Structure 1
Amino acid sequence: MFKLIFLGWLTGVILSLTTAALGSFVLWRRIASFGDTLSHSSILGIAISIIFNINSFFSLFLLMSILAIILAWLETLLPFAIDTILNIISHSTLSLGIILMSIISNNHRIDVTHYLFGDLLAVTKYDLIIIVINSIIILSILYYYWNYILSATINEELAQADGINIFYARLIIMLIIALNISISIKFVGALLITSLLIIPPATAQHFSNSPENMVIISILVSIISVTGGIIFSFYAHTPTSPSIVLFSSFLCLISNIRKYFFYK
């Protein structure tokens, strides 16, 4: 059993290191819809890669980077929350992607479900190496810009007083989220990568008293979710990624129940 699930489990653990940190910023900035927007736009990115016969990573990252730049720019201009625009872009890109897929499906064999749901247990050593390199790049950027991005996220007024460019701080975090999703989505699917981005930080916020503490707890919750979900899927013969998502959601539910009954 261990040999069968080890590569998939290790991939999930490594992904947890980046998604937990990035997801914490998503929650602090209240843009949980951003991950969904990027994952939905992946269908459009895949369709573009097929039409122009280019590597799916390049089309996904280019499209998501453009969306990230537009959203970071709009955030500086709009006097209201960006969630409405995120939802409009999310459903528009998804619809356009599905339309393009239906047009080109007559000439190409397309497995969209692989990009949506993935198969963590089908990850190869080569896939793992790519994800490790991606994680090292993202964690290095986060480590270098941690105080810069954190200040702009937690308290914009104070950050501006300290001379921090809010637009660039937002752009950095959005671009590395786009990078993480565009690389990981091919191997683990949009469902798993976006759930690891949102659910573990949502669970960890009930147990943390500082940003750094929240990231660490998010990583632990994410690793527990990956481990529990994989074990459950192995014995129950259920799809791996949905099992991990449900296990993560269960932990989030337990944390909310605990908060409701014991910390009123």
Structure 2
Amino acid sequence: MLDDFLIRAMLAGLGVAVAAAPLGCFVVWRRMAYFGDATAHAAILGVALSLALSTSVFAGALAVALAMALTVSTLSGRGYAMDTLLGVLAHSALAFGLVAVSFLQGIRLDLDAYLFGDILAVSRTDLAVIWVGVALILALTIWRWSPLLTATLNPDLAYASGIDPKREQLVLTLGLAIVVAVAIKVVGALLIVALLIIPAASARPLARTPESMAVAAAVIGAVSSLAGLRLSFLFDTPSGPTIVCVSAVIFTSTNLVARVLRATA
């Protein structure tokens, strides 16, 4: 079954959707969209370094994404404006990554595949790496769900309950780095944040509890992946951007429905 490239693409898309959904909810709740963007942009530098050192692309992207996330978390509490810091680091990391790629000799690199994703080229090894990453993210999220949620909703209450918000921020940072590393092959560095944010934002008007929002976000992400793959196959369009377009349509639809229901209530 896994010899069929479409089946592998579907499984990869489902894996990324399931992994990104719960973390995407925390990104939306904490208003950390630009933080995720900086982490994703840094992954290109990780790709270049891994190819230069002949190591795993997943390992390189994970290492640099995690380093970026930790750098932002460290510097943000030392007098730097968060939006300025993220803007500088995100675009600097992307630029250094693109320049580093240009120095690679004797290596054929489809840069578009890492910027916008190439889900149809996912191999069995890529699929195994993606689902190992998914398992790690789900285990981490389930283990730290309650402390993460408390630290997100009320840091003072978290301190009173013996929870360190900075530690939970580090846990979320690690999860985001893993998502970036597993998703770069599927939707690319420039679209990863869209897959994190849009399904969670689409689920928000439909949910009554944080847990239901995470589940709804996973379902929306899965539907977006499968529908986007189908549409890209039918209309011969890029798969990653098509998946994000379907997510955007679902976001618009759920928010319009929510507005209509509130207006008629």
Structure 2 length normalisation: TM-score? 0.90
Tell me the residue number matched to 1:68.
69
Tell me the residue number matched to 1:19.
20
Deviation (angstroms), 1:193: 3.1
Tell me the residue number matched to 1:34.
35
Q: Tell me the distance in 2 between the aligned counterparts of 1:138 and 1:109.
A: 31
Tell me the residue number matched to 2:182.
183
Residues 4 and 130 of structure 1: CA distance in aligned 2, closer, same or farther (over 3 Å): closer
Tell me the residue number matched to 1:43.
44
Q: Secondary structure at the match of 2:136?
A: helix
Q: Tell me the distance in 2 between the aligned counterparts of 1:84 and 1:214.
A: 30
Tell me the residue number matched to 1:202.
201
Alignment of 1:80-229 (within 5 A): 82-102=82-102, 104-105=103-104, 107-229=106-228
Residues 186 and 236 of structure 1: CA distance in aligned 2, closer, same or farther (over 3 Å): closer
Residues 50 and 37 of structure 1: CA distance in aligned 2, closer, same or farther (over 3 Å): same
Structure 1 length normalisation: TM-score? 0.90
Tell me the residue number matched to 1:9.
10
Q: Tell me the distance in 1 between the aligned counterparts of 2:104 and 2:15.
A: 34
Residues 150 and 252 of structure 1: CA distance in aligned 2, closer, same or farther (over 3 Å): same
Which has the higher mean CA deviation after the structures are superposed, 93-102 or 18-27?
A: 93-102
Can you give the 5+ residue segments of structure 1 that lack an aligned partner in the other structure?
A: none
Q: Tell me the distance in 2 between the aligned counterparts of 1:173 and 1:256.
A: 27
Give the percent of matched residue pairs that are identical in Structure 1 and Structure 2: 34
Which has the higher mean CA deviation after the structures are superposed, 152-161 or 83-92?
A: 83-92
Residues 115 and 19 of structure 1: CA distance in aligned 2, closer, same or farther (over 3 Å): same
Can you give the 5+ residue segments of structure 2 that lack an aligned partner in the other structure?
A: none
Deviation (angstroms), 1:232: 0.9
Q: CA RMSD in A?
A: 2.1
Deviation (angstroms), 1:207: 0.9
Q: Tell me the distance in 2 between the aligned counterparts of 1:122 and 1:156.
A: 43
Q: Tell me the distance in 2 between the aligned counterparts of 1:63 and 1:240.
A: 26
Aligned residue pair count? 261
